Structure 1
Amino acid sequence: SGVKILVNMTLCQVTVFLFALLPLSLNGQDPFAWLYGLQGQRYYSDSLQTNTNGGECPDECDCPPTFPIAMYCDGRGLTVMPTVPSHVKYLYLQNNGITAVPDSALNNATSLVWLMMHNNQLTSEAIGKKVRFGALEGLERFYLQHNNLTSIPPNLPRSLRDLRINHNRIEKVMFGMDNLTILYLHDNAVTDMSSSLQSLKSLTLLDISSNKLTKVPKELPEQLHQLYLDSNSIDSLPEDFLGHLTQLQYIRMAHNQLTDKGIPPNTFNVTGLVELDLSFNKLERIPLVSTTLQHLYLQANQIKEFTLGSFCSVVDVTSFSKLQTLRMDGNEISREDIPSEASLCLRQASSIEV
């Protein structure tokens, strides 16, 4: 009988355990669905406003019990930052009218991993000089796009991997984050980056399009995979521009002032490059490119001749261009200017527009 009692007790314990799991797995629902699908919804139940870790959730925010380390304050019409409990890792403050970050705003928020503050009214002057960004040792994503910042907040933590600060009014930049892999800095007012990127040794994506640059930044990080420089005023490229950027696959430099004279020979004749966009510049010739390039955009230049040698130095069964897309519309050539040998050299091209 003692054995039966023990078995029954064990079965009861298992049953209680399974019922405890049921809310998490019912209908296959991911318990982390709050993170993706329930942001922005408003819940008024008292049980949702008190975190299971014992931290109080501000009345103006939501702290779902199924994802207690997240705090949703997005799109609430806030003008000031709410109090952040110390256990919160994912803080959503975007789409509000927040104008300032007080000195003590993040003192308790040392567990933050994501900090979303995009689409607010922040100014650099209203970010307290004593804000402890550096104390956020686990912060990985910091989104500040679409604010009114004129400089990048100081003392950002080295843990940062993804910084989005585009669509502001930033003129000068300085970085010290050697783990940063993604930097969105486009649509600002940067005129010169000098060697400010030198410390970003892990950077793989750099978008500094739509600024006021007149030259390519010096000492670009060697790990770059994507480089976007569109819509600046760059008229020339440095010697050995891509010499040390062996990982680079995507370059976009549309809407600049590039001329043939400003591009050193063989600049783009490098293996590994997948896409090159030089549209809306002042080129008169097709630059020499590698046979491994797959997508080339040259529309809206002043090109007067279709030079097949730019794509293939030799044409035979084993030697031909891997180009799939070639756009040359908006230049000073027509389809009749394409030599007949192009069908051999550009045999993989599915689209050629002139």
Structure 2
Amino acid sequence: MRLVIVFLLSALLPLSLSHGRDPFAWLYGRQSQGNYFGSLQADTSGGACPDVCDCPPTFPVAMYCDGRGLTAMPTIPSRIKYLYLQNNAITAVPDSALINATNLVWLMMHHNQLTSDAIGKKVKLHLVLVRSRHIYELRVTPADLEGMDNLTILYLNDNAVTEMSTSLKALTSLTLLDISGNKLTKVTSGLPEHLHQLYLESNSIESLPEGFLGSLTELQYVRMAHNQLTDKGIPSNTFNVTGLVELDLSFNKLERIPIVSTTLQHLYLQANQIKEFSLGSFCSIVDVTNFSKLQTLRLDGNEISRQDIPSESSLCLRQASTIEV
């Protein structure tokens, strides 16, 4: 079975649109279960569990060293897949720290005293899950990730990324890419073909390349709020792609509603400079049999009002439950 690999360089964000829900909560429960099985024989394959940590016999591939006052990395048995080191005082993670951790999948190290300079280069590339609110100014570029074929979720948000490397396309297993909160001014069309979620908000992106999303047939969620996008910078039909469920283009500089697919369900365009409610952006033909599946449409904070909504909208946007103007 191929391991699900996750890479996170800032505070852990939701893996889907269900905000506030921790998708790893089921794992945390394993820690408390270990307290009830102290009489079971411990698994020592790949090395014994350090005395300062707990390796529950019922979950032998996990090692819990959180909240132990550690200042340095413990020895990690090779069988360990899930390592919990949060809430300590660890100041460095050299490359040698993970030399024996050949099966490591998830690593929790939030609430320590790490800085970017204290993390080895190989560690940066092979840490799989880092909840790192206290890793300051961590600098990893997309090019550094070349060859990580099993990577499925990549968070590079809130760093200093200035360009999207074409090497991202080689991440063939990637389903979620978050490069929000960086310094991008443009994006590449060479994105991993199996992406489901693409987050590019809070950059300085002014334009998009031709065919930007055309090859991403599995893409469902695109967030590009808080950029510098203009009508001129978006090629026609860029967002008219089947399969897209949510599109967020709020807080940009758009003057027109872009053409979107009739299968789109949620469209956020608030705080732009839109001056016209163009029904053709949603339905190329307006009649009883042709309509949009749009459920949510936000146009508040633009230069239009409810009086600008054409009467034919009741046909085209018949499934919309929320239209804010």
Equivalent residue runs for 1:151-170 within 5 Å: 168-170=138-140
Give the drift of 1:292. Answer: 1.3
Which residues in structure 2 correspond to 1:166-315 (within 5 Å)?
168-170=138-140, 173-175=143-145, 176-315=147-286
Cα offset for 1:65? Answer: 3.1
Name the larger-Rg structure: 1
Kept in 2, the 8 Å contact 1:71–1:92? The answer is yes
In structure 2, how many angstroms separate the alpha carbons of the residues matched to 1:303 and 1:270? Answer: 22
Between the two structures, name the one with larger relative contact order (CA 8 Å, sep ≥ 6).
2
The change in CA–CA distance for 1:188 and 1:88 in structure 2 (over 3 A counts) is: same
Q: Write the distance in 2 (CA, Å) between the matches of 1:319 and 1:63.
A: 59
TM-score computed with the length of structure 2 as normaliser: 0.82
Residue from 88, 92, 97 that aligns with 1:100: 92
CA RMSD in angstroms comes to: 3.0
Q: How does 1:40-59 map to 2 (within 5 A)?
A: 51-53=42-44, 55-59=47-51
| Unmatched segments (≥5 aa) in structure 1 | 1-32, 151-167
CA contact (8 A) 1:216 1:234 kept: yes
* Distance in structure 2 (CA, Å) of the matches to 1:259 and 1:287: 10
Offset at residue 264 of structure 1 (A): 0.9
SS at match of 2:97: coil
> Which digits, 9 at most, give the CA deviation of each residue in 1:57-110, with x for residues without a partner?
333322223323321012333221112234333211123232212343223333
Aligned residue in 1 for 2:58:
66
* Compared CA separation, residues 311 and 113, structure 1 to 2 (3 A): closer
Deviation at 1:294, TM superposition (A): 0.9
The one-letter code matched in structure 2 to 1:95 is N
Deviations 1:324-349 (A, max 9, x none): 11000111111111111111111110
CA contact (8 A) 2:169 2:193 kept: no
Residues 282 and 99 of structure 1: CA distance in aligned 2, closer, same or farther (over 3 Å): same
**Are 2:96 and 1:126 aligned?**
no
SS at match of 1:336: helix
Q: C-alpha displacement at 1:187, in angstroms?
A: 1.3
Mean alpha-carbon deviation: is it higher for 267-276 or for 254-263? 267-276
The whole-number CA distance in structure 1 between the counterparts of 2:195 and 2:26 is 34
Residue 192 of structure 1: how far off its partner (Å): 1.2
Query: Partners of 2:76 and 2:51 in 1: how far apart?
Result: 12
Query: Distance in 2 between the 1:349 and 1:130 partners?
Result: 49
CA distance in 2, matches of 1:179, 1:172: 15
Percentage of identical aligned residues: 77
What is the correspondence of 1:327-342 to structure 2 with a 5 Å cutoff?
327-342=298-313
In structure 1, how many angstroms separate the alpha carbons of the residues matched to 2:121 and 2:225? 38
Match of 2:129 in 1: 142
SS at match of 1:312: coil
CA distance in 2, matches of 1:332, 1:130: 51
Q: Is the 8 A contact 1:40 1:73 kept in 2?
A: no
Instruction: Give me the whole-angstrom Cα distance separating, in 2, the residues matched to 1:333 and 1:204.
Output: 36
User: In structure 2, how many angstroms separate the alpha carbons of the residues matched to 1:206 and 1:78?
Assistant: 33
Q: CA deviation at 1:276?
A: 0.7
Match of 1:353 in 2: 324
Give CA-to-partner distance per residue, 1:291-320, whole Å, 9 cap, x none: 111111000111111111111121112111
Question: Which residue does 2:17 correspond to in 1?
Answer: none
CA contact (8 A) 2:153 2:176 kept: yes
Contact 1:276/1:296 (<8 A) preserved: yes
Alpha-carbon separation, structure 2, partners of 1:203 and 1:75:
32
Tell me the amino acid that sits aligned with residue 270 of structure 1: V
Q: How much has 1:207 moved relative to structure 2? A: 0.8
SS of equivalent to 1:79: coil
Matched pairs, number: 299
